[in-house]
Structure 1
Amino acid sequence: MNDKKIVLYIVRHGQTLFNKFLRMQGYCDAPLTPEGIEVAEYAAEGMKDIKFSAAYSSTSERAADTALILLQERELDLTMLKDLKEMFFGDLEGEKSATVKKEHPGLIEKLHAGRKDFKFPNGESIDDLVERQKRAYDEIIEENRETGGNILVVSHGTSILNFLRTVKPDIEIKEQIPNCSANIVTWEDGKFTVEDFGITKYIEKGREIMKESSRA
């Protein structure tokens, strides 16, 4: 079998109401805000010149809706994978971030540090998250290894971050991955490589194009 190079464009979903009001959002879901939709449209415009051969998203509405915006005007089906969902925050689903920091001091910091033994109360551990992320990306690669090309994947901040860390353990990401930013990961000769992460150039490019168009 002659496997071909795959370039994954892994995009975090657009801003949601829970993002806006700083609530914990894992398996629970919230709709995209008007700003979230607008930024996704900018990203779609900015990525217009990228030819995607396949597209995937998590089964959460916020990810699927973002993916559909990014795919507008493209004749490409969207495949949804449950394993691409965000981490399950257990008892803290939907809770205000400020309340979590007050009642569970150090918990959020441990999450961001990516400690393998970290687990939310009655929730998911990072090990569990990493395992199902691996299943998702292995499935994506298996379905596309003979055709290769660029593949769009829309997922979630913590899920994306921990996948990147499995590929590049020494990666330094100190802030939350921005909504609708792209993370570029290649797969070649059976190996994943992180090429770039948290990039917003497609959003910025699309914003400029759409502003110029509105002035015309």
Structure 2
Amino acid sequence: MEKDKTTVYLIRHGECAGNKENRIRGCVDFPLNENGVRQAHALAEAMKDKHIDYIYTSPLSRATATAAILGETLGLSYEAREGFCNIHLGPWENRLKAELAVEEPEKWQTWLNQPEELVIEGGETLDQVRDRALAELNKVIEEHRGANIALIAHRGVLKPLMAGAIGVQRPSYWRLHVDTASYSVLTFDSLHGYCLMGLNFTEHLKGLPIIQEFD
């Protein structure tokens, strides 16, 4: 059974300006800021003893830059897959959260209380993100059964992905938390399916600022 067990390190990208300014990021291609680069290097050091075999990432630059730093440290290349791209949020993208809370209070309260029910014209729902990200992860695991895989993505992907993998009931989005440049550990085997072994490890970021987002 040990040979069948696949370990996935679910990594949130390092900090970007959208995090620091408290904006809705979505698919706006924010690059890592200086602190985000430092976070990514600290994350890479923490991954040195994890025996990573493959690196997959969202195609957005804050994720690919984190993947590149990790890959350089581990001597691995990375592959970007669209299934791990951040949630599309249409006209909300790049908007300040404080402004949206005033301009669209009903939808904002839905986001805070029943996020899976939020529907934005031109955007995705969290359920849609869950389904496409989990389908992509299933493909990766089938390609590399028994390997150790690093997956770099976004809060808006990793949280619904984890919830879908282990069957957390809705509303699930606010029941899981991942900081920038944190890692969580998800395993998969044929007998048990998915198991969340650890959530939001951040010890490697000691001394670096972490912006904790709860909205």
Q: What TM-score bracket applies, with the shorter chain setting the length?
A: 0.7 to 0.9
- Aligned equivalents of 2:159, 2:80: Cα separation in 1: 19
Q: CA deviation at 1:73?
A: 3.1
Which residue number corresponds to residue 182 of structure 1?
A: 183
Letter in 2 for 1:159: V
Kept in 2: contact 1:114–1:162 (CA 8 A)? no
Letter in 2 for 1:67: A
Kept in 1: contact 2:48–2:74 (CA 8 A)? no
Which residue number corresponds to residue 205 of structure 2?
A: 203
TM-score (norm 1): 0.85
- Aligned equivalents of 1:172, 1:92: Cα separation in 2: 18
Which residue number corresponds to residue 166 of structure 1?
A: 164
Q: CA deviation at 1:133?
A: 0.8
Whether 1:47 and 2:47 are equivalent positions in the alignment is yes
**What pairs up with 1:27-176 in 2 under 5 angstroms?**
27-111=27-111, 113=113, 115-145=115-145, 148-168=146-166, 169=168, 173-174=174-175, 176=177
After superposition, the C-alpha distances for 1:142-193 in whole angstroms (9 at most, x for unaligned) are 1101xx1211000000110111111230578557521001111001116111
Closer/same/farther in 2, CA of residues 63 and 109 from structure 1, 3 Å limit: farther
Q: CA deviation at 1:127?
A: 2.1
Closer/same/farther in 2, CA of residues 188 and 93 from structure 1, 3 Å limit: same
Kept in 2: contact 1:129–1:159 (CA 8 A)? yes
Closer/same/farther in 2, CA of residues 181 and 73 from structure 1, 3 Å limit: closer
Closer/same/farther in 2, CA of residues 61 and 125 from structure 1, 3 Å limit: same
Q: CA deviation at 1:108?
A: 4.2
Overall identity of the aligned pairs, in %: 24
- Aligned equivalents of 1:177, 1:105: Cα separation in 2: 25
- Aligned equivalents of 2:83, 2:68: Cα separation in 1: 19
Comparing 152-161 and 110-119, the one that deviates more: 110-119
- Aligned equivalents of 2:85, 2:91: Cα separation in 1: 17
Kept in 1: contact 2:134–2:165 (CA 8 A)? no
Letter in 1 for 2:197: E
TM-score (norm 2): 0.85
**What pairs up with 1:7-46 in 2 under 5 angstroms?**
7-46=7-46
Q: CA deviation at 1:71?
A: 2.0
Q: CA deviation at 1:106?
A: 4.6
- Aligned equivalents of 1:138, 1:33: Cα separation in 2: 32
Letter in 2 for 1:62: R
- Aligned equivalents of 1:108, 1:160: Cα separation in 2: 21
Closer/same/farther in 2, CA of residues 121 and 195 from structure 1, 3 Å limit: same
Kept in 1: contact 2:37–2:66 (CA 8 A)? yes
Q: CA deviation at 1:70?
A: 1.6
Closer/same/farther in 2, CA of residues 14 and 139 from structure 1, 3 Å limit: same
Q: How many pairs were matched up?
A: 203
Q: CA deviation at 1:4?
A: 1.8
Kept in 2: contact 1:59–1:84 (CA 8 A)? yes
Q: CA deviation at 1:69?
A: 1.0
Closer/same/farther in 2, CA of residues 144 and 127 from structure 1, 3 Å limit: same
